[in-house]
Each structure stands twice: as structure tokens, then as C-alpha cells.
Amino acid sequence: CPSANFNTPIDAVNDTASTPINGTTGGDAGINVYANDTLGTVGATPSNVTLTSTPTAELSIDPATGAVTVAPGTVAGTYTINYTVCETANMSNCDTATVTVEVISPSADIVTAKTDNQTTYTPGSTVAYTITVTNNGPSDAQSVNVVDNAPAGTTITSWSASNGSTG
């Protein structure tokens, strides 16, 4: 009698992160590789498959959870990592898939606007200026300093900032 191969179909499906990940902080890429992999007609889980992958400098996969992690300090770019799932009951029954993650460098877009709401000026009078600082993102701004030098011949008598600083 000829022998037959009765392996349960196993399907590891490629994954792509739905949103770019901040490479400076790294972290969870929002992917669980088990979520779309199957063993027969059931979902692949750590109890019915064994997941293996070789971490890269940028990406790793936790075999216990299927979570994909981006290493902190990863330079902007598109990165991939391969993984293999094998049926726990038959370790020769395997399939391989690729995870793709886009990593971005955070950037802030700082814009300043200076207004005084006046149309005429009288020598020796007081003028109040408002300087508005806006971060149009997409990332948080860190250690922002605003410098506004007074024109020659003017005197700054006081100032205040919405963060509570005064002078």
C-alpha cells in the first residue's frame, strides 16, 4: 500500500503594519502574526503551532503572543522580518510568512505667529504683542525655545507666557 500524506493545512499569512511606527521610541507595531494564520480550519495559536523567527536589529516577534516590536532608535525605512509556524503535533508541517513595518522619524512642524492687533503706533506708548507657537506635527516637539528680539530703540518692560513663565 502506498503511504499517504495527511498533513493538516497550515497557512502563515504575510502581515503589514497599518500605520507607521515612530522609530525613535520604537514599540508595538500593532501586529499579532497569529491573527490571520491558520492550522486547518482553526486559528493558529501558541498551543497548536510553534513560531520561530530570527530577530533583526529593527524587528522582533514574541512567539508567546505573536506581537511584533520595533526596536527603539530604528532609522526611518521599511523593514521586514520572516517567521515560520509549524504544527506542534507535526513539526515538519510548516509555513513561512513575512511581516512588513514602515518606520518613520518623528518630526515636529513648529510655526510662530506674532500679532499686536494695532494699526497705528504712538511714540512712547505701550504695545502688547502676542506670540503664538503651534506644532503642526505629526510628532511632539521637545525642548522648544522661542526667541523674540526687540527692535532697536524699544524697551521690553514685561512679558508672560501661557506656560506660567514671566519676566
DSSP 8-state symbol, 20: -
pLDDT at 147: 80
| Angle made by CA atoms 104, 22, 108, in degrees to the nearest 5 | 75
pLDDT in tens, 40-82: 999 999 999 999 999 999 999 999 999 999 999 999 999 999 9
The pLDDT assigned to 28 comes to 97
What is the distance between the alpha carbons of residues 129 and 27, in angstroms, rounded to a whole number? 42
pLDDT at 48 (0 to 100): 97
Q: Which helix (H) or strand (E) holds 81?
A: strand 77-87
What pTM was estimated for this model as a whole? 0.65
What value does the mean pLDDT take over residues 84-98? Answer: 97
Residue type, 13: V
- Residues 112-144 have pLDDT tens digits of 887 877 778 777 777 777 888 888 776 777 777
Question: Phi and psi for 113 in degrees, rounded to 5?
Answer: -135, 135
Asked if the model's pLDDT at residue 156 lies above 80, the reply is no
Q: How confident is the model at residue 2 (pLDDT cuts 50, 70, 90)?
A: low
CB 53 within 8 A of CB 26: no
Cα–Cα nearest to 105, from 76, 147, 127: 76
Q: Supply the mean pLDDT for the chain.
A: 87
Instruction: Quote the distance between the C-alpha of residue 15 and its chain's center.
Output: 16
Instruction: Give, for 28, the enclosing helix (H) or strand (E).
Output: strand 27-32
Instruction: Please state, in angstroms and rounded to a whole number, the distance separating the CA atoms of residues 45 and 68.
Output: 15
Nine cell digits for residue 12: 502563515
